[in-house]
């Protein structure tokens, strides 16, 4: 990728907050860069590359980029090449991508002619409403918010200031959204939670109670009206095609600063703390509580009514079926403390070797039994021969 304009090593070090390292007599302002490489191993002269992976750091001599952004301390092993040293490599990525971000094609402030805005809706200053947007009655949109094409917003919705709502988002009635919230394409906020009951005990209830003689007749599922709402606090981002269900009663709440990836399901009445991270394909069952700054990695599944403490990490593809204490790292199905989980995996890998050892021991025991039996037969015969 080409830089917008050629830049010196010193300029780039400045805006990423790093320290330029050059071998003598070279100076940072003597090194000019024209591109940034997405693949360090494919970088060419004139490129800058970012290397944070330990395996790539071990191959730094193979990278042909003119300058490499690396963690502090790398200069000790590579004193003869230009480096930009940073304390937090991912923060350097954030700053580079922010500086090089292309212009987005957002709708201009105002209401597009094809948008349908209810006369009772309140639209703030400098709000941009794109093509084919629908905004329901008594909804309030805060100053500077951008609503892109095809978004549908229900009635009595409150949306704060400087939000960015991408195309095709669905926001149901009564939802409350804070300031600077980003909703990516196709996000669905405030759909009904999944709640049903039956007039008489269902066969599943009877089976769990130990009843074996189950009726073979219909027992219709009766929908429980979901009369609650969703509250999304300030600075939250919700990824594409993720769903946050409204509460049965009360509110499903997403705490300030939380970031939710694509294809995530958050069921009714969940409560998320501040600055949590939810990675794609995670599904959180109803009435779960997730503590502040917790990280739910990809594909994690949660049983209903689970409580997760603060600063918890749940590894990818885990299944959480019971409460998790503060500052815990858990893995597996069902999720247990990660050290315990990986010790169990190591034990499982040893099973073939243990089984082989057991077979060998069994053969040796059989041989010993045979020898003992032979000895018992020989000794009485010898005693008889000796007249005993």
Q: Could you report the per-residue pLDDT of 125-173, keeping only the tens digit for each?
A: 999 999 999 999 999 999 999 999 999 999 999 999 999 999 999 999 9
Sequential DSSP letters for 71-100: ETTGGGT-TTS-EEEES-HHHHHHHHHHHH
Considering the domain architecture, whether residues 203 and 331 belong to the same structural domain is answered as yes
The tokens describing 363, both together, are 């053969």
Considering the domain architecture, whether residues 310 and 223 belong to the same structural domain is answered as yes
Residue 105 lies in a domain: no
Phi, psi of 107 (to 5 degrees): -65, 150
Considering the domain architecture, whether residues 314 and 198 belong to the same structural domain is answered as yes
Class of residue 244 by CB neighbours under 10 A (exposed 0-12, middle 13-18, buried 19+): buried
Which letter does DSSP use for residue 324 in this model?
B
Percentage of residues of the chain with pLDDT beyond 90: 79
Phi, psi of 374 (to 5 degrees): -60, -40
The enclosing domain of 218 has a CATH number of 2.160.10.10
Considering the domain architecture, whether residues 239 and 344 belong to the same structural domain is answered as yes
Whether 276 shows a pLDDT value over 90: the answer reads yes
Considering the domain architecture, whether residues 344 and 355 belong to the same structural domain is answered as no
Q: Which of 262-271, 282-291, 340-349 has the lowest mean pLDDT?
A: 340-349
**Cβ atoms of residues 49 and 68 within 8 Å:** yes
Query: Which pLDDT score is estimated for 370?
Result: 87
Residue 20 lies in a domain: yes
- pLDDT-derived band of residue 103, with 50, 70 and 90 as boundaries? confident
Residue 171 lies in a domain: yes
Query: Which pLDDT score is estimated for 387?
Result: 60
Residue 326 lies in a domain: yes
CA 384/CA 271 separation, integer angstroms: 88
Residue 114 lies in a domain: no
Class of residue 255 by CB neighbours under 10 A (exposed 0-12, middle 13-18, buried 19+): buried
User: Token pair 């007749």 is at which residue?
Assistant: 217
Residue where one domain finishes, among candidates 184, 206, 231? 184
Considering the domain architecture, whether residues 214 and 337 belong to the same structural domain is answered as yes
Phi, psi of 360 (to 5 degrees): -65, -40
Considering the domain architecture, whether residues 339 and 369 belong to the same structural domain is answered as no
Query: Which pLDDT score is estimated for 373?
Result: 85
Query: Which pLDDT score is estimated for 143?
Result: 98
CA 149/CA 12 separation, integer angstroms: 36
Considering the domain architecture, whether residues 175 and 269 belong to the same structural domain is answered as no
Query: Which pLDDT score is estimated for 70?
Result: 93
The enclosing domain of 73 has a CATH number of 3.40.1390.10
**Cβ atoms of residues 145 and 165 within 8 Å:** yes
Residues annotated as catalytic are 268
Query: Which pLDDT score is estimated for 316?
Result: 96
- The total of structural domains in the chain comes to 4
Residue 106 lies in a domain: no
Q: What is the 3-state secondary structure (H, E, C) of 110-131?
A: EECCCCEECCCCEECCCCEECC
Query: Which pLDDT score is estimated for 217?
Result: 95
Contacts of 62 (CB under 8 A, 6+ apart): 41
Considering the domain architecture, whether residues 381 and 295 belong to the same structural domain is answered as no
* pTM of the complete model: 0.87
- pLDDT-derived band of residue 385, with 50, 70 and 90 as boundaries? low
Query: Which pLDDT score is estimated for 160?
Result: 98
Query: Which pLDDT score is estimated for 382?
Result: 63
pLDDT by residue (tens digit) across 301-314? 999 999 999 999 99
Q: Say how far residue 265 (Cα) sits from the centre of its chain.
A: 12
Whether 7 shows a pLDDT value over 80: the answer reads yes
CA 86/CA 52 separation, integer angstroms: 10
Residue 232 lies in a domain: yes
Work out the mean pLDDT of the chain and round it to a whole number: 94
Considering the domain architecture, whether residues 258 and 213 belong to the same structural domain is answered as yes
Considering the domain architecture, whether residues 357 and 307 belong to the same structural domain is answered as no
Domain that holds residue 369: 351-388
Considering the domain architecture, whether residues 204 and 65 belong to the same structural domain is answered as no
Residue 165 lies in a domain: yes
- pLDDT-derived band of residue 93, with 50, 70 and 90 as boundaries? confident
Query: Which pLDDT score is estimated for 207?
Result: 96
């Amino acid at each position: 990728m080409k830089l917008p304009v050629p830049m010196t090593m010193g300029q780039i070090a400045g805006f990423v907050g790093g320290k330029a390292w050059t071998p003598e007599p070279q100076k940072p302002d003597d090194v000019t860069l024209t591109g940034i490489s997405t693949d360090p191993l494919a970088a060419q002269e004139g490129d800058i590359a970012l290397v944070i992976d330990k395996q790539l750091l071990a191959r730094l001599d193979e990278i042909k980029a003119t300058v490499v952004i690396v963690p502090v301390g790398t200069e000790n092993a590579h004193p003869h090449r230009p480096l930009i040293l940073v304390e937090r490599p991912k923060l350097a990525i954030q700053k580079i991508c922010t500086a090089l971000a292309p212009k987005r094609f957002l709708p201009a402030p105002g209401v597009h002619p094809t948008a349908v805005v209810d006369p009772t809706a309140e639209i703030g200053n400098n709000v941009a409403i794109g093509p084919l947007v629908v905004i329901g009655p008594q909804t309030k949109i805060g100053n500077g918010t951008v609503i892109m094409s095809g978004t549908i917003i229900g009635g009595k919705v409150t949306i704060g200031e400087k939000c960015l709502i991408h195309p095709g988002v669905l926001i149901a009635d009564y939802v409350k959204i804070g300031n600077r919230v980003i909703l990516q394409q196709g996000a669905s906020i405030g759909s009904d939670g999944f709640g049903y009951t039956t007039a008489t005990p269902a066969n599943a209830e009877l089976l769990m109670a130990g009843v074996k003689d189950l009726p073979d007749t219909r027992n219709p599922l009766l929908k429980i009206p979901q009369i609650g709402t969703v509250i999304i606090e300030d600075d939250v981002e919700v990824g594409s095609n993720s769903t946050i269900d409204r509460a049965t009663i009360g509110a499903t709440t997403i705490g300030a600063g939380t970031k939710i990836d694509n294809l995530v399901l958050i069921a009714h009445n969940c409560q998320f703390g501040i600055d949590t991270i939810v990675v794609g394909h995670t599904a959180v069952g109803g009435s779960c509580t997730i503590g502040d700054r917790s990280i739910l990695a990809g594909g994690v599944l949660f049983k209903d009514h689970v409580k997760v403490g603060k600063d918890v990490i749940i590894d990818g593809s885990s299944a959480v079926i019971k409460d998790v204490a503060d500052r815990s790292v858990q893995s597996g199905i069902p999720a247990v403390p990660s050290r315990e989980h990986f010790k169990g995996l190591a034990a499982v890998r040893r099973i073939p070797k243990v089984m082989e050892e057991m077979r060998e021991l069994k053969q040796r025991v059989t041989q010993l039994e045979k020898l003992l039996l032979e000895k018992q037969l020989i000794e009485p015969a010898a005693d008889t021969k000796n007249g005993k």
